[in-house]
Amino acid sequence: MGEAKTGQEFITHEYDEAIAVQQCIVDAETTLSTKHPVPSSKSAIRAALREDKNFLRQLKALGKPHGATGKIEDVAEGLTSLMNETLETATSEGADSDFYEAHAVLLNIKRKQMDSAGGMLEIARATKDAELRTAATSFAKAQKASCQVLADELASYAATIATAKAA
């Protein structure tokens, strides 16, 4: 693990992590929005991707004055690695259970990002950063909404897979 960070160094770290994780989300959604075998999931992921691309641009702009570039550290590296592995398996093997796993990992990463938005909101309040406060509030609400849609899609997909007849 890295050394302890405080003050501005911690803020930069939080932005770096948020940018790196958001990039991972955008990359995964880019793949799943075209490769996911369930049309309604594809559509939901495409809708989330539009928002998530905007949030990525916003995070980069907000992080820039703090020296944040999206540097990948421990948490982002682990999440990105897991996402890439599940996407690779899903797109190369094409089994429903593999796409289900990739969909589930994406949902969990988005939930982690939603939780991070709460931390960013508190940082904004503590530092009296109105722009960050507005962005973090909007980001948290949008992530919560898209997480619910993706969770509903995942549950439906689970039922479809569980009740499928063996070939």
Stated as kind and residue range, the H or E segment containing 3 is none
- For 66, which DSSP code? G
Task: Give burial (CB, 10 Å; 0-12/13-18/19+) of 92.
Answer: exposed
pLDDT 10s per residue in the chain (167 long)?
A: 556 778 889 999 999 999 999 999 999 999 999 999 999 999 999 999 999 999 999 999 999 999 999 998 888 899 999 999 999 999 999 999 999 999 999 999 999 998 888 888 999 999 899 999 999 999 999 999 999 999 999 999 999 999 988 75
Does the domain at 7-161 match CATH 2.20.25.240? Answer given as no
| Cβ atoms within 10 Å, residue 78 | 11
**Whole-number pLDDT of residue 167:** 59
**Whole-number pLDDT of residue 116:** 87
Alpha carbons 84 and 52: distance in angstroms, whole number: 18
Alpha carbons 22 and 5: distance in angstroms, whole number: 21
Structural domain spans, the chain: 7-161
Task: Give burial (CB, 10 Å; 0-12/13-18/19+) of 149.
Answer: middle
Length of the chain: 167
